[in-house]
Structure 1
Amino acid sequence: MKKTFFSFYQIISIGALIAILLTVITLRQQFSHQNIIKINSISEVLKYTDKADLVVFDLDLTLIAPISQDNAGNRIEWGSRYFSAAFKKYIIDSTLQKYDSFIIQAIHSAGINASDSLIKNAFSQYIEKDGDWKMIGNLLEKYIDDHIIPTPVEKKTLTILETLKARGIPILIYTARRWNEKESVEKELTQVDISINKDAVYDKELIINPQENEERGFGFGNGILYWIKNKNYMGKKNASKAPILLKFFETINYQPKQIIIIDDLKDRINDLKQLFKSKSIDATVLWYRGIEKRSKPIDQLSETDLKILNHYFPEGWQYLSFDQNKAIDHIIEQLK
C-alpha cells in the first residue's frame, strides 16, 4: 500500500487554513455580540446619530430614574440593582428571623433529622420563590408611588435630547409601561422638563388593541409609545420591544433607513438589529448602563434607607406573607 504523508510545508499550510477558519468563526461570534453596543453615558448616543432618521429612547432607567427623598435630602435610588438586591435580602432576612423558630420546630416535629442551618436554607429558598412578593409590589404602588420623584438618569440627559432636536432628528420614547399609565408618564416627564411631542415621528394619537393571538398591542401619544397588554394571552412570553416597534412603523406607514435604539434592559433589545435588517432598516442598538454609574454599591439597607421605608410603609411591611403549611411540606420534601 502506498504511504501518504504530509510535508512540513503542507502541515504549515493546513495549520494556517485551520487558524483562518477559527478566526472567521470567532469574528462571526464577535459580530453577533456586536449587534448590541454597550454605552456608559448618554452622551455616547451622539456618536451614532450622523445619518439617523430616528432615535428611540427607552424611558425608565434610560431617560428618568425614580427616587424617594426625606426632608433631610436623603434619597433612595429605586432604580439601583444594588438597592433592589439589598431590599429583597432585607425582606427575606426579616421573614426568616420572625418565622424560623416556628418552621424549625415544625420540621423536627415531623421527624426530619436535619440541622437548623439546612432547614433555614430550605425555608429561605421557599419564601424567595413562593412568598407573596405581589404584596410588596402593592405596598410600593400604594405608599411609594405618590412620593416618587422622577429625575434624569444623568445631568447630561436633557442636553442630549435638546442637541438631537437642534439637529432635526425625530425622537421616539418607547416604554414598556401600559397605555393606561399615559397620564402619570406625561406628568413625570413634565416634572423633569422632557417634552418631545413637537419633535415626534407622528403627530396623532393611536390605539391598536392586541388581536386574540397577540401578547400585546400599543398606544401612542405625544411622542411616546406604550404597550397594551392582552390579559387573555396564554402563549409564550416575549420581552422584546421589536415586534411592537415594527407594527407601529407599519401602522403609520413609516420606513426609516437608519435608527438608533437605546435601552437599559438587554433582553428587550437582543433581537432588534436582525429583525430590523429583515425590513431593510439599519438599526444601531445601544445597551445603556448609565444607571450603574449613578448607583452606589451596597450590601444591605442603611439606617437612613430603613427610616425612609418605615416612614412610608405600614408596620410589619418587611415580613413576607407565605403559606405556612405549603412551606413546611415543601421543606420536608426537600430534606427527606
Structure 2
Amino acid sequence: MSLSKTIGALSAALLLSAPAFAEGYPERQITMVVPFAAGGPTDTVARLVAEKMSGDLGQQIIVENVGGAGGSLGAGQVAKADPDGYTVLLHHIGMATAATLYRKLAYDTLNAFEYVGLVTEVPMVMVARKDFEPADFPAFIEYVKGNADKITMANAGIGAASHLCGMLFQSAIDTQLVTVPYKGTGPAMTDLLGGQVDIMCDQTTNTTQQIKGGTIKAYATTTPERLAIFPDLPTAEEAGLPGFEVSIWHGIYAPKGTPAEVTERLSKALQVALADEGVAKAMADLGTAPSPAEDATPAALKEKLETEIARWKPVIEAAGVYAD
C-alpha cells in the first residue's frame, strides 16, 4: 500500500473511532482535580457540580484535591494526564493569572488544555477584623492609606483569589500594604477572626457565614451591583473606589487532545448540573449563582481565559510579584 493510502486509511480509522469512543463515554469513574485544599471555596463549588454532573453522566465524579503553588501543581497534573475524559480540572481565575505570575510554569496555559465550560463567577468582599476602626468604605480607604505600614492584609498564598483581589485593591488605591500570605484560606480566615491580621479580600463562598455571624466586618463588594445576599453592603464603586471590580470565575478543563465529543458531553452534563434548583440554591446561599447555559460551553471558557490573561498581565507586572 502506498504511503498516501496508508495515511488515508489511518485518518479514516481515527474519524470512525472518535464518535464510537464518545458514544460509550463515560464507562468508568471520572476524577475532577481541584488544585486547592478541601473545604475551601473552589472545593465547595467543585463538589456541588460534581454530584449533579455524575447523575447526568451515569458515572461518579470524585473530587481530588491537589493543592500547592497557587493551583499550578494540580493544573500541571491534569495537563499531563491521559486525554481520555477521565481526568478533568476545576480551577478558578488563577488559571489566567498563573500565566504571568509564575516564571517557571510546567504547562502552557492556553495550549495545554481543552475547554468544557464556565461554572460560576463568585463575588469578592472586602472584610476586616470585627473591631476594625473605620465605619464605612470611604473611611476604610482613608484609614488604610494613612496607615499603610501598620495595616496587615491577609491572603491565602500567591495566586490565591484573596491574593489577586488584594493586588488589585492596592493598585486601585495606589498604596502598598503589609501583606501576610498563608497556606490556604482556612488559616488566613482563622487569624482574621482572631484579630492577628487586619483585613482581607475574599470570596463570598468563604466569608458569608462570618459576615452574617458578625465575627468579621464587611465593607464593600467588588461587583457592579449590590448582592442579593447582602443588600445593605455597597459596591466598591458606589462607595468611592471606581475600577475595583473583580469576581473569581471557575471553569472546567480537560487535557489537550481530549476528543471534542467528550468535552461536549462533559459540557452538557455541566449545563444540566447548573440548571438544577438545588445547585442554584446552594450557590445563592454562598452569594453566587450558576453560569448560564451559554457560558457553560468550551467556546465561552476559552474566550474568558484569553481575556483574563490579557487583563491581569499588566496588574501583576506592575505589582512586581512573581513566584518560581
State TM-score, norm by structure 1: 0.21
Return the TM-score normalized by structure 2. 0.22
| Structure (1 or 2) with the larger CA radius of gyration | 1
